[in-house]
Amino acid sequence: MCSSEEDKLVIEMAEGESPDLTQIESDPSVRQVSANGVSMGTTMVEEKLDEGNIQEAESALRDGLSLNFEEARALLGKLEYQRGNVESALRVFDGIDLQAAIQRMQHSLGDKQPSKKSRSRNESTSAVSQHATNLVLDAIYLKAKSLQKLGKLTEAAQECKSVLDAVEKIFSDGIPDVLVENKLQETVSHAVELLPELWKQAGCYSEAMSAYRRALLSQWNLDNDCCARIQKAFAIFLLYSGVEVGPPSLAVQMDGSYVPKNNLEEAILLLMILMRKFYLGKTKLDPSVLEHLTFALSVCSQTSVLAKQLEEVMPGVMHRIDRWKALALSLSGAGQNNSALDLLRKSLHQHEQPDDLMSLLLAAKICSEDVFLASDGVKYAQRAIANSHGSNAHLKGVGLRMLGLCLGKQAKISSSDFERSRLQSEALKSLDSATALERGNSDLIFELGIQYAEHRNLDAALRCAKQYIDATGGSMIRGWRLLALVLSAQQRFSEAEVVTDAALDETSKWDQGPLLRMKAKLKISQSLHKDAIETYRYLLALVQAQRKSYGPLGSAPQVEDDKINEYEVWHGLAKLYSSLSHWKDAEICLGKARMLKEYSAETLHTEGVMHERQGHVNEALSASINALLLEPKYVPCKILIGAVLSKMGSKMLPVARTLLSDALRIEPTNYMAWYHLGMVHKDDGRIADAIDCFQAASMLEESEPVESFSTIR
Amino acid sequence: MSDQSPFPEKIPHHYKPQVSWSDSYTKAHQAIESLTAILPAISPSLSSSETPASCLLHNSDVATQISTLFRSPKSGAVNDNLCAWLYDTFHSSEPDLHLVVLRFIPVIASVYLSRAALNKPLAGFESVLLAIYGYETAARNGQAITLSIPDLSHSSIYHETKQMAKSGATELHLAVISPSLEPHGTVRSTRRARIVGVALELYYSKISEIPIGSKIEFCEFCKIWSGQEHNDNEGENCESEKNDGIRGGRLNLPWELLQPILKILGHCLMGPDHKNKELFEAAFCACKSLHARSLHDINPRAILATASLLKLGEMAAHHTISNNEIDYTEIAITNVISI
């Protein structure tokens, strides 16, 4: 606090050199006091103070330096404060009637402002008054600091507040840029910065909040650094204090300007302003500001906004790799996985950080969601596994899990059966070894279940589904769906329905869409068409009600993309009516579906099926071909065209065979494709091949779920 | 929306009962009296206190006893009278007594969520959680909480140059930070996380009045929930003693739970109490565990949030150790003083 005891304190007035009336040389290391052209040592004064003789010390100063009572007291207080004797400083300050001094000051300064006297005279009196004002304000400020050091925080805050109140009264239009003495400005800035801290330390949070706003919204003529410090402290307070006091008052609001309406908005605004100040070079960069902003924006899921902020970051603020990584996380968090992957590729380049685990894992995860990226994902995952050692050894299981997912995805587009089954079994092996490391990770059990199900290992899939529901306490809809679909693949439809009903019981209305759709399909599988139509009707009503009641801010379903849309319901109904040969009803439903989604391969396919079943071969073909133009890899249409062509004579058989083989390449477990391929082989006289195909078809049909496993997310 | 709430005494929106001081005093005394019937040993000073609600909130002995009871294997059942006590205390509509209930949200959430997977009847816990959820639903009128993300191209109250908003300025980006709430009369398993999440949101909104002990307890639970507490062997500071009824506590952490958890953790680490060493260290360890967990889940939002908290925590710890935080409000201490 105080520089060492032996140090001499020199008190000198702002103007005037000290003449040779002193006992001591002007040596800064020796204690000396000079004022009004006179210097004196502080030894005697200090002795008197130490004895508790404030008045004697005061008169010594008054006599020695020709000071008035208040000036002497203010100097004494400052001396004591600097010596670390805050209690004594308080006693000294208590001797002056600060309030009265403030009032005098207000009068003298207040009178000057509207004065019509000559400008030069006005300015000089103003300078004298300002000097006197500062003397008093500085004393109150030091009183507040002394009280703070004694832990009397509320009193300290009140003293500090009185400094600001006085300044506000004296300068009713804000502190002018020029015209203000440096010392006074310094005291004001100190007080502005100290007040909210004092309230905060005193636990008076709403007072702290107003003090911060007062600091930032009034004209105190603060310098950039001081203003930035207060803005940062306020942002931290808003972000973490958990005290919600309400938005700034209407008085500070301007037409059309943005007014934050809660803590989080105000904090984010301040942090953004601070970031901009750094870029403009107005204040020194403070890396913690970006961290606070990152936390604030990620917690409210606004990582797309964070990405924009990171894009604006100037060179030199962050290392480029850190920036790429943060950007990739932000973009991925905002669902922009492709851009995220581009950045990860840069940061994983061999000249950058090719072994960074977080980047490898995120890249592998993004790749695992896209069949065409899956092979890249495999490489990232393998690198992640290879680098999971030391303090990162615990991430090995995550790498294995990603490897399994990527391999499973890759298997879907592999060109040969051999390759596919190799990839699938590797995927299972990898996921299996992950489970040994990732104990208690229920997501992994689910993923393993899906993998088994797609591999048609239904018993294992069933085990995983049950285990997942147990582990999550039935809290995840996707667990219920997996269980029901696996049961349906085992042709245990009524059990699947029981599971679906149980799931519906555990689900609130707005989340029920996918379950109801599955229920309708289960009814169809049991030839309970009327029930199925009823279920669809209910689903339709739900979807329509949902569309109306969902504002843009409605509650999000458990899985964002899992909303059933009206189109899907109409299309499902059309297919149902078509299977019952209710052509008119089917046509109406299809029309409704078409109104909601004009170009859809699915709708065209249903249309084609309806034509085909009514014997309109050309129409069926043209609808299917149109569908393929929209979606060249749309399997059901390839099968439909193949089936139609196979009935058009032996010349068409090779074309049909090509189409069906193509369909099987894309979807090897499609039993319809196997069946029609078998028919082609039979018609062409390859009976053995035909038998193989029919066998595959019948086996697959017996393990066909009512909905594809890939519809579960 | 067919759910019938079993709580007829739900507090309507904006309803602020005009209670006299003596009324809240009586209610707090009643709460203490009924608690004495449940807890084995209650300090008599509690019932003679002039500020009974506040004493109840800050009495660490009572807190320990209640926490211990909750962690016992049979807690939370339908006839659990401690849950009934919390339920009644919450329904007293006394803000001070609300805090007494909210103080136990961490332990209730932890015991409840870790047992929910075991298919045990937990009606006692659920009644308390539903009461809190119902209160919040009514208070918010079911509405979502939204945020207009600031955009510096709009002039704002903190802009230095006060200019009128550009007419061509882009629309502000609207974010939902807490989706709308529908009334629930029972806990459906798929809404469980949301209901607990809302209770944590309410805990956060009152966190400045919650005793530090409860926050430390919360941080300890975060480590257990993350399931990553043993991955980090760097310092014995983060060694957590595996205690009592909550074992193998790794939880599914969907965003509706994780979001309020991260907000609370932010407060524990960087809030006004962070000067409390014990809380700071507990929060820092919790951040480490949740960061490891977010890497296991490869959850970008959680990775960003926890990594930032960790960095901020490290900076704060560094400042404390080296004591190099500059106090800009201190006057220059020099040999030369000038006024």
> What was the ipTM of the complex prediction?
0.89
Tell whether the model's pLDDT for residue A449 goes beyond 50: yes
pLDDT for B162 = 53
CB A488 within 8 A of CB A522: yes
In whole angstroms, what is the distance from residue A174 CA to residue A171 CA? Answer: 5
What structural domains does chain A harbor?
A: 639-713 (1.25.40.10)
pLDDT for B243 = 40
Residues A376-406 as b or e (16 or more Cβ within 10 Å = b)? bbbbbbbbbbebbeeebebbbbbbbbbbbbb
3 state SS of A33: strand
Q: Which of B207, B298, B335 sits opposite A8 (nearest CB)?
A: B335
CA angle, residues A380, A381, A383, in degrees to nearest 5: 65
Least Cα distance to B338 among A701, A155, A368, A9 occurs for A9
Which ranges in chain B belong to alpha helices (H)? 21-36, 44-47, 52-58, 60-71, 81-90, 95-102, 105-116, 123-140, 192-205, 212-226, 255-270, 277-297, 300-322
Does residue A362 sit at the B interface (CB-CB below 8 Å)? yes
Other residues' Cβ atoms within 10 Å of the Cβ of residue A21: 11
pLDDT for B56 = 87
Report the interhelical angle of A287-299 vs A320-333 (nearest 10°).
10
Chain A residues lying within 8 Å of B191, measured CB to CB = 508
The least confident of A98-112, A335-349, B78-92 is: A98-112
Q: Which of B144, B303, B312 sits opposite A329 (nearest CB)?
A: B303
Q: Say yes or no for a CB contact (<8 Å) between B295 and A193.
A: no
The least confident of A323-327, A557-561, A659-663, B28-32 is: A557-561
**Mean pLDDT taken over chain A:** 86
Owner of token pair 């000089």? A124
- In single-letter form, the type of residue at position B94 comes to E
List phi, psi (to 5°) of B145. Answer: -100, 125
CB pairs < 8 Å spanning A and B: 294
Least Cα distance to A10 among A48, A44, A39 occurs for A39
More confident residue, A440 or A693: A693
pLDDT for B239 = 44
The least confident of A376-380, A560-564, B331-335 is: A560-564
The least confident of A324-328, A329-333, A563-567, A689-693 is: A563-567
In whole angstroms, what is the distance from residue A73 CA to residue A69 CA? Answer: 6
Owner of token pair 């051999």? A418
CB A231 within 8 A of CB B158: yes
Give per-residue pLDDT as tens, B91-112.
Answer: 988 888 999 999 999 999 999 9
The least confident of A547-551, A598-602, A618-622, B27-31 is: A547-551
Q: Percent of chain B at pLDDT above 90? A: 44
Query: Tokens representing B247?
Result: 């074992």
pLDDT for A25 = 46
Owner of token pair 């960087």? B270
Tell whether the model's pLDDT for residue A75 goes beyond 80: yes
A14 pLDDT band (50/70/90 cuts)?
very low
Tell whether the model's pLDDT for residue B4 goes beyond 50: no
**pTM of the predicted structure, to 2 decimals:** 0.88
Does residue A134 sit at the B interface (CB-CB below 8 Å)? yes
Q: Which of A257, A362, A553 sits opposite B144 (nearest CB)?
A: A553
Tell whether the model's pLDDT for residue A597 goes beyond 80: yes
Owner of token pair 């004579």? A649
Q: Which of A269, A340, A438 sits opposite B150 (nearest CB)?
A: A269
pLDDT for B242 = 43
Question: How far, in Å, are A165, A189, A369, B291 from residue A169 at the CA level?
Answer: 6, 16, 65, 51
Chain B nearest-CA distance from A28, in A, is: 7
Question: Is residue B35 packed enough to be buried (19+ CB in 10 Å), middle (13-18) or exposed (0-12)?
Answer: buried
Tell whether the model's pLDDT for residue B12 goes beyond 60: no
Q: Say yes or no for a CB contact (<8 Å) between A258 and B151.
A: yes
Q: Average pLDDT for residues A320-338, to the nearest whole number?
A: 95
A137 pLDDT band (50/70/90 cuts)?
confident
More confident residue, A528 or A122: A528
Chain A residues lying within 8 Å of B144, measured CB to CB = 551, 553-555
Q: Average pLDDT for residues A521-527, to the nearest whole number?
A: 94
pLDDT for B1 = 37
In whole angstroms, what is the distance from residue B43 CA to residue B57 CA? Answer: 13
**Residues near B290 by beta carbon (within 8 Å), at least 6 away in sequence:** B222, B226, B228, B261, B262, B265, B302, B306
Does residue B58 sit at the A interface (CB-CB below 8 Å)? no
Q: Which of B116, B180, B303 sits opposite A554 (nearest CB)?
A: B180
Q: Which of A21-30, A215-224, A497-506, B174-183 has the highest mean pLDDT?
A: A497-506
* Residues in chain A, total: 713
Does residue A67 sit at the B interface (CB-CB below 8 Å)? no
3 state SS of B231: coil
Chain B residues lying within 8 Å of A438, measured CB to CB = 296
CA angle, residues B157, B158, B160, in degrees to nearest 5: 110
Give per-residue pLDDT as tens, A63-72.
Answer: 877 777 878 8
Tell whether the model's pLDDT for residue A123 goes beyond 80: no
Does residue A203 sit at the B interface (CB-CB below 8 Å)? yes
Other residues' Cβ atoms within 10 Å of the Cβ of residue B242: 12
Instruction: Give counts: helices (H), strands (E), chain A.
Output: 33, 3
pLDDT for A129 = 66
CB A12 within 8 A of CB B338: yes
**Residues near B88 by beta carbon (within 8 Å), at least 6 away in sequence:** B31, B34
CB A305 within 8 A of CB A297: yes
Q: Say yes or no for a CB contact (<8 Å) between A142 and B331.
A: yes
In whole angstroms, what is the distance from residue A265 CA to residue B296 CA? Answer: 31
Q: Say yes or no for a CB contact (<8 Å) between B312 and A473.
A: no
3 state SS of B338: strand
Does residue B260 sit at the A interface (CB-CB below 8 Å)? no
Q: Average pLDDT for residues B17-38, to the nearest whole number?
A: 76
In whole angstroms, what is the distance from residue A168 CA to residue A155 CA? Answer: 20
In whole angstroms, what is the distance from residue A345 CA to residue B339 CA? Answer: 61
Q: Average pLDDT for residues A547-561, to the nearest whole number?
A: 55
Tell whether the model's pLDDT for residue A564 goes beyond 90: no
What is the DSSP secondary-structure string of B119-134?
Answer: T---HHHHHHHHHHHH
Chain B residues lying within 8 Å of A255, measured CB to CB = 164
Tell whether the model's pLDDT for residue A130 goes beyond 70: no
Q: Average pLDDT for residues A656-683, to the nearest whole number?
A: 93
Q: Percent of chain B at pLDDT above 70? A: 81
**Residue of chain A minimizing CA distance to B195:** A475
**Residues near A540 by beta carbon (within 8 Å), at least 6 away in sequence:** A566, A569, A570, A573
pLDDT for A11 = 42
Owner of token pair 């001094």? A101
What is the arrangement of strands in the sheet containing A33-35, beginning at the earlier edge strand?
A38-40, A33-35, A10-12, B336-338
Give per-residue pLDDT as tens, B134-150.
Answer: 999 999 998 888 888 88
More confident residue, B173 or A449: A449
A642 pLDDT band (50/70/90 cuts)?
very high
Owner of token pair 């702002």? A14
A53 pLDDT band (50/70/90 cuts)?
confident
Tell whether the model's pLDDT for residue A656 goes beyond 50: yes
Does residue B133 sit at the A interface (CB-CB below 8 Å)? no
In whole angstroms, what is the distance from residue B40 CA to residue B36 CA? Answer: 7
Tell whether the model's pLDDT for residue B294 goes beyond 90: yes
Whole-angstrom Cα Rg for chain B: 23
The least confident of A20-29, A649-658, B193-202 is: A20-29
Give per-residue pLDDT as tens, B33-50.
Answer: 888 888 877 777 777 788
List phi, psi (to 5°) of A457. Answer: -90, 80
CB B233 within 8 A of CB B123: no
Tell whether the model's pLDDT for residue A198 goes beyond 50: yes
Cα torsion at A522, A524, A528, A530 (round to 10°)?
A: 120
**Residues near A249 by beta carbon (within 8 Å), at least 6 away in sequence:** none
Tell whether the model's pLDDT for residue A30 goes beyond 70: no
Q: Which of A90-104, A125-139, A352-366 has the highest mean pLDDT?
A: A352-366
pLDDT for B158 = 82
pLDDT for A169 = 79
Other residues' Cβ atoms within 10 Å of the Cβ of residue B41: 9
